[in-house]
Amino acid sequence: MAILSMKQYEQLAYDIALSIQEGLLCRGEKLPSIRKTSNSRKVSASTVFQAYYLLESRGLISARERSGYFVTSGGAGMPALPEPTLACEAEVTQLDVSELVFEILESTRSRKVIPLGSAFPSPLLFPMDKLARAMSAAVQTMDPWSTVTDISPGDVNLRRQIALRYMIDGLHVPAGEIVITNGALEGLNLCLQAVTKYGDTVLIESPTFYAALQSIERNGLKALEIPSHPRDGIDLQAMEHALERHQPAACWLMTNFQNPLGSLMSDEKKRDLVALLTRFNVPLIEDDVYGELYFGDKRPKPAKAFDTAGLVMHCSSFSKCLAPGYRVGWAAPGRFAKAVERLKLTTTLATSVPAQITLARYLSRGGYDRHLRSLRHILLLQQIQFVEAIERYFPQGTRLNSPPGGYFLWVKLPDGVNALELHRIALSNGISIAPGPIFSSQKGFTDYVRLNYGHIWDENMEAAIATLGKIIYKLVKR
């Protein structure tokens, strides 16, 4: 399924869905009439009807005879996540999480399993046919010398395209600072290695992305967990106290649509975060792979936008938003760019040259933003459908967030339900989930799960949510 440019009716449907997601339109509320919407939006009545029909086909609204259209999904049907529990003192932890993570990730590889525990969106959401044509044209005209000249820091045209996107978002990041990597994860690991040594402490969020825990463990480092809020991210007061007490060598955070919480830090909080780390001279490794998957009017700024000291090492990739499987990411490591480039040269040397020139060609042709608009549209509609299904099938006591971007839901289970036990039973029913303990150095969050809504909503997906609900009901009643 290739993603096409959004038509007028799709844009209107997206705007209405966003209002539902943000709670501006609640379940049971009547939508403006076809004529009124046509006049206010200055579009034809046919366009409005197509938008309403699309939303109706997705189960978000319904028509009532002689009454108009009403919202049937979304709204404040389920309580929001509780406030994070703040520890009196953050403690440094020696990690031992990889085996648990590998055991659980193994379950997401089979196509027979419903991938609610996957870390990736559906590959059917990306323009693979257009990328294939771009690759065919790129490799036919590829300069043989590029296999030599495009070793680290990477293809110059791709780095220029990435620098241009930074500039459009209001950031000055020169192409010479950018290092192309094998996905964002390699960039994050190279940045971590550039600013730490064996035995150092790294400050992280709680909960945090399990790959960060694995990287810290693999490099012989220690983790310092700071509570993070499900809406606006890490607790800066607790973070300041931890910086004073433990003097970590680095900090690894997601500021935009954090995995697994989905939290989004405000610009003001990002500015305060960078100022705090600058005061203590602690580098920030910023994982921003979900930044393009926003549901609002514009891309949220990364923390790097507020960096004047070169301490923010910004990492991202095309894997989550354009080209899964191409494994092309990058790091913009500020003052540490040369160190990261040399680490790249001494480890994997280079990222696939055909993949780099393919993406450079695709970006230069101007189709990327059209694709992103359609992708965000689909993800927003799917989030609303998933949230509504969870509200319908899960028992009382369930709580969740509705993040303004990304494709993850962080769900608190009713009291007495263990996430690891739920994972095992769900897997035996052909459903994968991501249990909370894999997102903590201390294997906490035993009553939380992360669910992926980045896969196409259909009867199989709804049946999987219904089955999960039945399993949870049984666990509650034991």
What is the extent of the structural domain holding 20? 8-71
Q: Are residues 149 and 223 in the same domain?
A: yes
Which of 367, 389, 406 finishes a domain?
367
Verify that 327 and 209 share a domain, yes or no: yes
Give one word for 155, left, alpha or beta, with left for phi > 0 and alpha for psi -120 to 50: beta
CATH number at residue 280: 3.40.640.10
User: Hey, what are 149's tokens?
Assistant: 């000249």
DSSP characters over 178-210: -EEESHHHHHHHHHHHHH--TT-EEEEEES--H
Residues 177 and 307 in one domain: yes
Q: Where are the alpha helices (DSSP H) in 236-350?
A: 236-246, 267-280, 337-347
Q: End of a domain among 339, 367, 395?
A: 367
Q: Is 2 part of any domain?
A: no
- Is residue 14, in this structure, part of any structural domain at all? yes
1, part of any domain: no
- Residues 16 and 138 reside in one and the same domain: no
* CA–CA distance, 415 with 424 (Å, rounded to integer): 18
Q: Is the pLDDT of residue 135 over 50?
A: yes
Structural tokens at position 47: 């366009």
199 and 326 share a domain?
Answer: yes
Residue 156 CA: distances (Å) to CA of 161, 315, 330, 387: 9, 18, 13, 43
78 band by pLDDT with thresholds 50, 70 and 90? low
Residues 313 and 324 in one domain: yes
Residue 91, pLDDT score = 67
Q: Which amino acid makes up residue 176?
A: G
SS3 377: helix
Residue 3 lies in a domain: no
Q: Check whether residue 159 and residue 277 sit in a common domain.
A: yes
How high is the pLDDT of residue 20? 85
Q: Which of 29-43, 215-229, 362-376 has the lowest mean pLDDT?
A: 29-43
Beta bridge partners of 229: 233
Per-residue pLDDT band at 477 (split at 50, 70, 90) = confident
Hey, which residues does 100 pair with through a beta bridge?
Answer: none
| DSSP assignment of 266-293 | -HHHHHHHHHHHHHHT--EEEE-TTTT-
**Is residue 82 domain-resident?**
no
Strands (DSSP E) along 318-424, which ranges? Answer: 329-332, 399-400, 408-412
User: Does a structural domain hold residue 227?
Assistant: yes
Q: How many domains does the chain have?
A: 3
216 and 277 inside one domain: yes
Alpha carbon distance 209, 260 (integer Å)? 6
- Contact indicator for 126, 323 with CB cutoff of 8 Å: yes
Domain end position, chosen among 303, 337, 367: 367
| Model pTM score | 0.88
Amino acid at 36: K
Q: What CATH number is attached to the domain comprising 401? A: 3.90.1150.10
DSSP codes of every residue in 102-171: HHHHGGGS-TTSEETT-SS--GGGS-HHHHHHHHHHHHHT--TTHHHHTSTT--HHHHHHHHHHHHHTT-
| One domain for residues 344 and 202 | yes
Q: Which residues, in sequence order, are bridge partners of residue 74?
A: none
pLDDT digits (tens, 9 = 90+) for 280-337: 999 999 999 999 999 988 999 999 999 999 999 999 999 999 999 999 999 999 999 9
Same structural domain, 206 and 305: yes
pLDDT at 88: 45
pLDDT (0 to 100) of residue 95:
62
CATH code of the domain containing 64: 1.10.10.10
Quote the CA–CA distance of 112 and 110 in Å, as a whole number: 5
Same domain, 252 and 297: yes
Under DSSP, the state recorded for 332 is E
* pLDDT tens, position by position, 267-278: 999 999 999 999
**Structural domain contains residue 77:** no
Across 371-384, average pLDDT: 93
Residues 29 and 161 in one domain: no
For β-strands 222-229 and 201-206, DSSP reports them as parallel
Nearest to 276 by CA among 333, 334, 335, 236: 236
Cα–Cα–Cα angle for 150, 145, 334, nearest 5°?
A: 15
| CA proximity to 61, closest of 73, 51, 47 | 73
Tokens 């699309």 identify what position? 54
Q: What are phi and psi of 208, to 5 degrees?
A: -140, 165
Residue 109, in any domain of the structure: yes
Tens digits of per-residue pLDDT, 79-130?
667 666 544 456 676 666 667 778 777 766 777 899 999 999 999 999 999 9
Of 284, 238, 228, 283, the C-alpha closest to 259 is 228
Cis before 207? omega within 30: yes
